[in-house]
Amino acid sequence: MELLLEKPARKGLERMPRKSAEAMLKRLENIAASPRAQHANVKPLVGFKDTYRLRQGDWRAVYRLVYEANQMRVVVVDVRGGIYR
């Protein structure tokens, strides 16, 4: 699957500490490589179809799988308190 970072996700990664951002991006790439597999710290978001959150420490990434376009769209990356607003 193609990994696409939307603008809020790119800005969130820029705000993260460098090593944490690199680790988050690597985990997102691994998920995009096999989106149907079980991944640690990934849960579906209730009420949203094919939308999941990835937890890494205090940071969260919300992504949506678009199977028709073969894309994984990372919607936002932010700290835990700000992600669900």
* Domain ranges within the chain, ordered by starting residue: 2-80
Q: What is the pLDDT of residue 17?
A: 94
Higher per-residue confidence, 81 vs 84: 81
Structure confidence by residue, pLDDT tens digits, 34-77: 999 999 999 999 999 999 999 999 999 999 999 999 999 999 99
DSSP state for residue 85 in the 8-state scheme: -
Kindly tell me if the per-residue pLDDT of 84 is higher than 90: no
The CATH code that applies to domain 2-80 is 3.30.2310.20
- Write the DSSP assignment of 40-77 as a string of letters: TTEEEPTTSTTEEEEEETTEEEEEEEETTTTEEEEEEE
CA 34/CA 82 separation, integer angstroms: 28
Q: What is the structure's pLDDT at 45?
A: 93
Q: What CA–CA distances, in Å, run from 25 to 6, 37, 54, 59, 73?
A: 13, 17, 11, 12, 13
